[in-house]
A and B are shown apart, each in its own frame.
Chain A
């Protein structure tokens, strides 16, 4: 039913334009079928709104009566991948709400279509309108404008100096422990206002790296000065900026409208545009993001979908969003409520803000720029050197894809190989012993058939297709077959020195160290605790067991971030413990800057992962110990074995076969454990703590979706692990035959 009406409405669109003569007849036809389509097929709308913004959206949708609408709120982290998976299949939303800067990428992937008559002319802010144009054509309908502005704690500062230099001079007059100006100093996104005021930019018009040259260096020198003089906190992330401002430890803060939602009435504050840079006389210009309605290619042809886009971007909807969610409209005909100085301030800020470029290259600027800024702020590099290095990294990511190769050699090779395989099979099938063995294997096949089917279709097939993408390269939407060029590039370190930062070989060494350290601690702690917890007559056994699996039970995403917070040099719990020790024992230990050097950052990652992983090994040990018969242990004791002998000669050899699969898999999982590295050190300092799999993920998700390159990393990881386990099998006896069950074939 749904499908039929969908097809008919598409067919109608084809018919309507040429058949003007029959417009009367056709008109009634359209009305009739249109009504059917409306009743049958609701409009699907995806968004990542929360809280007040989501409530405002629901309210706006309530007044749309042309078709039923099914809104779906999706976590921001899954939004992009869900769009990319669903829309090319004709599934997914008819329209969705996202930031304008993704349009370039979305158009290349063909998941967004021009909006056509959904864009009402003459009512949108000039800058917002230009932001949604790609080559002169509108690909989205602007809803609202978002940028950072200056939050002022009016209890600490009554008169805000008009210039940044004035704000720096404010610092000594503030109470101790209070920062004059809090922003995410290490992030390119928050450094951008300063860079723009110096006349620099992150991305040049020709899509080359713009964050180089005297302007960029000057902006970095000023940032260093602000950090060194204690004007600006060195390591603040978004959460810390919020907490500093909320608790009165920051007089001023650069943040977006989202901070206001968090503040309630805990501090007296007002918002105004960012200050002016005295050195150039230019205002600090933040990036502007235009939140906009985008139409999917299958949604764009439906008139009621375009009507919904118009409705969402209409004046009444804009007014609702302004009053309910306090988001600044992108329209010129909707006045700002007179009683809302916050919106007025963001409107003023939007006038000087710079729309984020829509070019897909923009996304590639952030990682190298972030790393350069962090390196300079740590005092580990001069601005000029760090920026040139960042430019190299950017160019490395943006290097042209390898030339397309002819797929014939591989296809021919595959053909020959499968022919040969078929011949061998036919020949072997003639052998009577083989037939006999096959016949005897049949009962066993009945036991394994469903596992083969499930794992084959839902695990191996997707992985194999994923592996095949390693032979392709190019930006998403324009991939070409390139043969083994991706592998050649990775293994030759893309022409750079073989042990340079980020090269395959150096990252491999870090990954090996990572695996060895983690597995050793997981096994040591897990085995030790498992043995202790399996002691007979242990009191409180159940309580200990449950408390000790907690690291595993709480979602690792949040605990990994808790660990990251504990390692904060200024406010972290480890620093808190160090200071408490100093107080208690009159020591003079220094707080540790965990993410400034490889060894401490690696330790931080490893500590987190050891903590996350030991309960698994502990549970496996407890499980394995259940199979050790009590009388075996007792017999050993009667024979006069010491406790240590009993452990190493009886217990460990007995649980070894049961433990081996878990240890092997634990090692493999640790080798590929990317999210701890991602969340805790994030590769800091300077990408040195990244492991192979986190490199692979960066290529797939932060470096313009170079899936082919990421897949080549995945294939190399796979080959390495396969090779290593085979080698271990040979040297230590084959672990897949470690049991005493039937022999393998």
Chain B
């Protein structure tokens, strides 16, 4: 691993990656072409190039404004982007904060009901949510959490918790117990050992887990549209979904909106992926 790869090997690696990128991008380029086209002539084409290029769809999505009842007008897109970012970030933080101690307990402690709990967590992922929207609405009503971003964040976070727990538990289990034990021998409490030793080593896994929770909240619209009753609280996917009507869909605007919506996610991933360095734990681990 330490030596440099030969030239032919490097060419092969980049060849594979370029092919994969082409596969990943081709359908998205069609979305880009739709978003930037003034008109789309139906004809079979192999290259996703925009026709009569225009920025009007992007403008229409991004510059949307809304007159409030008190006469002032707000930049609706900006407000909803902010809502999306706040709700998704809060979801990621809440989800990870709820999941970390549980995952740690599952990885390190033996306790009564552990196996049943793990099974119940897995079971939540198996059950299609086809008939549970109305019960969820009733529960949030009883808790007084309807039409609030807090309620929405709690729903998203709870939904993301089972996966986060599994992901983090596996990450914690991959960290040798010796590390904490050494710290505790040196006089740290269990909690201090957990916070000062385990959490830093698990940072890549936590980043990936938070990203998953963020993504699931960021693209969701049915629950957001159902639980919130105020347009200024809506998240971006709810706004996007409005381009689909009963009889017709404004595909060009929908595509433009989808692209704008995905930019922050790509930026976020760019930031997260710097924490994903292979062999991070090498320094502290000796077989």
Contacts and interface: CB of A to CB of B under 8 A. Distances in A.
A76 B246 contact: yes
A3 interface: no
B275 to A, nearest CB: 8
A266 interface: yes
B136 interface: yes
A525 to B, nearest CB: 8
Interface string A232-252: 000000111011101101000
B24 A615 contact: yes
Interface string B255-284: 100110110011001100110111111100
A572 B131 contact: no
A450 B24 contact: no
A162 interface: no
A623 B208 contact: yes
A461 B248 contact: no
B61 to A, nearest CB: 12
A437 interface: yes
A438 interface: yes
A552 B279 contact: no
A57 interface: no
A247 B242 contact: no
Contacts of B172: 741
B270 A243 contact: no
Contacts of B109: 441, 443-444, 447, 742
A623 B276 contact: yes
Interface string A69-84: 0101111111001101
A559 B125 contact: no
B7 interface: no
A550 B123 contact: no
B105 interface: yes
Given A558-B31, A658-B170, A741 B108 contact: yes
A630 B1 contact: yes
Contact of B279 (A262, A626, A714, A717): A626
A633 interface: yes
B125 A669 contact: yes
Contacts of B165: 451
Interface string B25-58: 1111011001000011111111110000000000
Contact of B41 (A243, A256, A561, A707): A243
Interface stretch (A4-12, A321-329, A531-539, A595-603): A531-539
Nearest to A551: B24
A139 B126 CA distance: 41
Given A238-B247, A637-B1, A89 B125 contact: no
B193 interface: no
Contact of B244 (A76, A438, A440, A743): A76
A740 B159 CA distance: 27
- The winner among A73, A448, A659, A674 for most chain B CB atoms within 10 A is A448
Nearest to B128: A714
B238 interface: yes
Nearest to B279: A630
Contact of A451 (B141, B161, B177, B248): B161
Contact of A455 (B105, B158, B238): B158
Given A77-B241, A78-B225, A542-B270, A668 B25 contact: no
Interface string A547-587: 11111111111110111011000111101110110000000
Given A576-B45, A718-B126, A76 B131 contact: no
A343 interface: no
A75 B242 CA distance: 4
B185 interface: no
Contact of A460 (B114, B120, B126, B170): B120
A381 to B, nearest CB: 28
Contacts of A542: 270, 273-274
B167 A458 contact: no
Interface in A628-665: 628-635, 637, 657-662, 664-665
B231 A626 contact: no
A86 interface: yes
B171 interface: yes
A238 B115 CA distance: 52
- The winner among A99, A458, A631, A714 for most chain B CB atoms within 10 A is A458
A92 B229 CA distance: 8
Contacts of B182: none
B187 interface: no
A742 B105 CA distance: 9
Given A76-B242, A554-B261, A562-B28, 13 more contacts: A48-B242, A85-B133, A238-B248, A243-B41, A450-B101, A465-B132, A620-B208, A629-B285, A632-B287, A634-B2, A659-B170, A741-B169, A742-B107
The 8 A-B pairs of least Cβ separation, nearest first, read A739-B173, A630-B279, A441-B111, A466-B132, A78-B225, A75-B241, A661-B166, A466-B131
Interface of B: 1-2, 4-5, 13-14, 16-17, 20-21, 23-28, 30-31, 34, 39-48, 67, 69, 98-99, 101-102, 104-115, 117-139, 141, 146, 154-155, 157-159, 161-163, 165-167, 169-175, 177, 204-205, 208, 211, 215, 219, 221-222, 225-226, 229-231, 237-238, 240-251, 254-255, 258-259, 261-262, 265-266, 269-270, 273-274, 276-282, 285-287
18 contacts: A72-B230, A85-B133, A86-B137, A246-B39, A459-B158, A463-B129, A469-B131, A535-B5, A542-B273, A562-B27, A626-B278, A627-B204, A634-B1, A672-B128, A693-B130, A696-B128, A741-B177, A744-B114
